[in-house]
Structure 1
């Protein structure tokens, strides 16, 4: 388990900013993000390398500064996953970015990048 502190609440999860990140055993890169003060507030995230080829988002200078990232290796990127009528979808346009050293996190919107909000996994 890792403790995370979001710079602002993730969309739809206000006012929560403190979360735990837990890997789902046997989940192949699947994680849960659970609000520290309310375990009913939870979302699923996945390591994009486990489900999407060639995903390499570019963070803005503002995102890098907000997260205190000194180098690219400090960033851990996860994408939010959810069940839809069509199957499991991931949001590639708004990944969760975590500073591995500090636990500071944000769900960022990638500007100027042609990525889908809902990419269905096959």
Structure 2
């Protein structure tokens, strides 16, 4: 488990900024992101490097500096998953970037019309 602190609270979760990132046992690359102050608030996120090859949105230089990231391997790119029996979806429009050394994070809201808010995970994983 590792502490994650958002520079700005994620959209829709204001004023929460402190979270715990924990790997889900038996599911490599799947994590829970739980609000430290309100443990009933929990998101599922996946490691984009592991599950979404080719998905690599640009991190603006000012945000990279704020996260303490000087090289791509110093950042962990996470994507929010919405589980469903009909098929889980992922939010490709607003990834979460975590500085591996600092624990500081930001949820980017990209301006790419080609990236969906709810992409079917099965369709984009391994693509």
TM-score normalised according to structure 2 size: 0.86
Aligned residue number for residue 34 of structure 1:
34
Aligned partners of 1:97 and 1:14: how far apart in 2?
Answer: 17
C-alpha contact 2:93 2:112 (8 A) present in aligned 1: no
Q: CA deviation at 1:39?
A: 0.7
- DSSP-derived class of the 2:3 partner: strand
The number of residue pairs the alignment matches comes to 122
Correspondences of 1:1-122 after superposition (within 5 Å): 1-84=1-84, 86-112=86-112, 114-122=114-122
* Deviation of 1:17 (Å): 0.5
Distance in 2, Cα, partners of 1:61 & 1:114: 22
CA gap 1:120/1:112 in 2 versus in 1, 3 angstroms: closer
Change beyond 3 A, Cα 1:51–1:73: closer
Q: Indicate if the aligned counterparts of 1:24 and 1:31 stay in contact, CA closer than 8 A.
A: yes
Q: Unpaired runs of 5+ in structure 1?
A: none
Structure 1 residues 52 and 72: CA distance shift in structure 2, 3 A: closer
Q: Give the gaps of 5 or more residues in structure 2.
A: 123-127
Query: Relative to 1, partners in 2 of residues 1:114 and 1:61: Cα closer, same or farther, differing over 3 Å?
Result: farther
CA RMSD of aligned residues (A): 1.7
d(CA) in 2 for partners of 1:25, 1:83: 16
Q: Larger strand proportion, structure 1 or 2? A: 1
* Counterpart-to-counterpart distance in 2, 1:49 and 1:69: 16
